[in-house]
Amino acid sequence: MLIFTGPAGITALAAAATAAATAVAGARTLLASVGPSHSVATLTQIPLGGNPHPVGPRLDAWCLDPLADLARIWSALPAKSPIAGDELPVIPGSDLFLAVANLRTLGAGYDLVCVDAGPPDTLLRALGVPDTFRWTMRLFLGLDRGPGRSSASVSRALVPIGLLPFPMEWTSNLQEARVRLEQLRDETVAPTRARVRYVLRADRAGLEEARVSLPALQLFGLAVEAIIAGPLLPCTDGLTPIVEEQEYVTGEAATIWKERPLLRMPATVTPSGPAELVALGARIYADTSPLPRTPLPSPVRLSGPPDPMVALDVPGLPRETLGLTLSGDELIVRAGIYRRHILLPDGLRGVTAIKAARQGETLIVRPRK
């Protein structure tokens, strides 16, 4: 699965052009949209929801309809409720997990899924939902199973389980849901299943946003394999200052993220069909294959004794936007406005002091001796 994230609208164009190029290369491809604006629907002229729609040879498209999916799931529950499915709100972040559940089924018949995930902020907030759920469970009920299991947290919970006016089965189901949500997130972002192509808006503001958003994606386990800069304007009279800024930004990006290919997406009118998407894809991937690269290492690596360590690949993250906090058996890592709660491996749990050092684009955290 290739996940495209960046400025709304531009990500859809990059995802659609890539999907068209991979279809021409022989891969049966699904172009999926899970972002809020669904610009993919405009590019391919397909409705929201339902099954994938064919848009070209070896190329289908599908757009998530979270309201319809939520109502369908609610109506399928065995317990009856006076609340109708059409009345339910979509909890922020839940649409990503609805999309993952759909793509696990829909993507089975394809070699590749190209996903327009919309702006990185939306994606990152959704990826943080399992951590928020774990923190809430730890605070109120304690954790007694799965990742983060802790008898101490159960004894310190604000609401002792024995005093809850609910059956034990209810709290047990909550614990199982928490564990499964974390597992689903980690399975989805594993580099063997997914990687990101970050769409960079080629101006100074876009570069500064990328210097936080791109490493934050890696902090949540999503490996960024390439950067697509665009849409890039041609050098013509009256556009010289804009083009000079574009060249400055792409040059800086090539230096900051030198380990990742920097692709260029030219400015174009909105493609009106598969043929124009194929042409745009050919221009983006002029001298390289649009298909995924070889498997990438996980950007989050944990190891226990004899050398307990947390290794985080955060390329390009400015030093002043990075923060580390120890909280029990969790390491809280701040990347700009984003925060990740990482369960520490054995050998680091319970330590009172840590040592952190950056080696290239990797942050290494070890116990302080």
**pTM for the predicted model, two decimal places:** 0.89
Six-digit token string for 48: 């929201």
* Residue 44 token pair: 């391919």
Is pLDDT above 90 for 329?
no
For the ranges 47-56, 254-263, 284-293, 357-366, which has the lowest average pLDDT? 47-56
Alpha-carbon radius of gyration of the chain? 22
Asked whether the predicted pLDDT for residue 127 surpasses 80, the reply is yes
Residue pair 33/117 in contact (Cβ under 8 Å)? The answer is no
Q: Which residues pair with 349 in a beta bridge?
A: none
- Name the strand (E) or helix (H) holding 217: helix 204-219
As given in the structure block, the two tokens for residue 140 are: 């109120």
When pLDDT is cut at 50, 70 and 90, the band that residue 102 belongs to is confident
Number of Cβ atoms within 10 Å of the Cβ of 206: 20
Are residues 277 and 333 in contact, defined by beta-carbon separation less than 8 angstroms?
Answer: no
Residue matched to tokens 């993220």: 257
Identify the band that residue 162 occupies on the pLDDT scale cut at 50, 70 and 90: low
How far is C-alpha 311 from the chain's CA centre?
Answer: 19
pLDDT digits over 40-57, tens only? 888 888 887 788 999 999
How far is Cα 323 from Cα 321, in angstroms, rounded to an integer?
7
Residue ranges of domains in the chain, CATH in brackets: 2-128+188-284 (3.40.50.300), 300-367 (2.60.40.790)
| Averaged pLDDT for residues 204-226 | 96
Q: Which residue has the tokens 């089975």?
A: 108
> Does the pLDDT of residue 85 top 60, yes or no?
no
Closest CA to 23 of 37, 8, 51, 44: 44
> pLDDT digit string (tens) for 21-30?
999 999 999 9
pLDDT for the residue numbered 304: 92
Strands 300-303 and 338-343: unpaired
Q: Report the percent of the chain where pLDDT is more than 70.
A: 88
Q: Are 55 and 274 in contact (CB under 8 A)?
A: yes
